Amino acid sequence: MIQCEGLVKIYKTDDLEVVALQGLNLSVQNGEMMAIIGNSGSGKSTLLNILGGLDRPSAGQVTVGPWNLLKVSDDDLVKYKRDTVGFIWQNNARNLLPFLTALENVEMPMMFAGKLDRAYAKQLLEWVGLKERMHNKLTQLSGGEQQRVAIAISLANKPQMLLADEPTGSVDSRTSDMIMDIFRRFNRELGLTIVIVTHDLSLAGKVDRVVAIRDGLTSTEFIKRNPNLDSAPSLHGGAESNEVHEAYVVVDRVGRLQIPKEYLQALQIGDKASMEFDGEKILIRAPKSLEGETA
């Protein structure tokens, strides 16, 4: 579904140039549910905006399904954003129109696409647990309920992919669990590809794969050992189990890898390292001239 190779994004002003993505590589399979984590300024939201068609890449390659987002025309980009991708912001004000009811909010993107389907809009609100609240104005809904309306809106035009920027960042833990269960149901039962940007490591157990971004590059992946992902409640009920993740350092196509900074600091490795291959393992250590005879 998603293929990024050497993806670069540079923001320029008159006296400043910021490289938000420095050659990022990422592959996301069709029907996968994954999370992207990273500190503030790591480039994770920039990546999500590029995938959502909200920002243009500076260089590299990025495709979503048949769409080449580096070369797509402005007119085709409108079609892409309308039909292929659904987007959820952390700030509800960017998702919702406060003077409309929940149902009218879900119907709005359908109207822009010229295919109003009230029955489907009602079904979406029922799926997110708002069957009894669909005719309420947004001022009559809690923050968690508004976020669930935003999820329904993002799916109004039946996109192939859902992008969510900190979707649980402004709700309590109970509502966060509810939102993640909704994502899993849509992922499993509709085959929807879901990419979530978050800083909340506790979400790792609720997705298939976690990719960490550091300084504009993918650095680490956490992948479920148990391939059986039918653990969250379905639309028809069920229970959730705890999954175990295994961490991997990401190696790109030319053999580069990012070693976590805390590992290098523990070994007192600065801008140079010694590397040896003993036939089975690659050994990385501080250069011998720096580490002393006893290292």
pLDDT at position 241 is 44
Q: Where residue 264 falls among pLDDT bands split at 50, 70, 90?
A: confident
43 near 213, Cβ under 8 Å? yes
Residue 151: predicted pLDDT: 92
Three-state SS for the chain is CEEEEEEEEEEECCCCEEEEEEEEEEEECCCCEEEEECCCCCCHHHHHHHHCCCCCCCEEEEEECCEECCCCCHHHHHHHHHHCEEEECCCHHHCCCCCCEHHHHHHHHHHHCCCCCHHHHHHHHHHCCCCCCCCCEHHHCCHHHHHHHHHHHHCCCCCCEEEEECCCCCCCHHHHHHHHHHHHHHHHHHCCEEEEEECCHHHHHHCCEEEEEECCEEEEEEEECCCCCCCCCECCECCCCCCCEEEEECECCCCCECCCHHHHHHCCCCCCCEEEECCCCEEEECCHHHHCCCC
The encoded tokens of residue 29 equal 């399979």
Q: What is the mean pLDDT of residues 269-273?
A: 82
The token duo for 149 is 């309306």
Q: Among 22-31, 170-179, 246-255, 279-288, name the one with the lowest average pLDDT.
A: 246-255
Q: What's phi and psi for 283, nearest 5 deg?
A: -105, 125
Of the ranges 96-100, 119-123, 201-205, 252-256, which one carries the lowest mean pLDDT score?
252-256
How does pLDDT run across 39-69, given as a tens digit for each residue? 777 888 899 999 999 999 999 999 999 999 9
Separation between Cα atoms, residue 46 and residue 149, nearest integer Å: 24
Residues of the chain with pLDDT > 90, as a percent, come to 39
pLDDT tier at 223, thresholds 50, 70, 90? low
Strand 245-249 and strand 217-224: the pairing is antiparallel
- What's residue 289's pLDDT? 65
Looking at residue 232, what is its pLDDT?
A: 44
Query: Which tokens is 73 given?
Result: 């025309």
Task: Please report the sign of the dihedral spanned by the C-alpha atoms of residue 106, residue 31, residue 258, residue 248.
Answer: positive
> What pLDDT digit, counting tens, does each position of 143-201 carry?
889 989 999 999 999 999 999 998 887 778 888 888 899 999 999 988 999 999 987 77
Say which CATH superfamily domain 1-84+159-258 falls into: P-loop containing nucleotide triphosphate hydrolases (3.40.50.300)
Average pLDDT (92-115) is 87
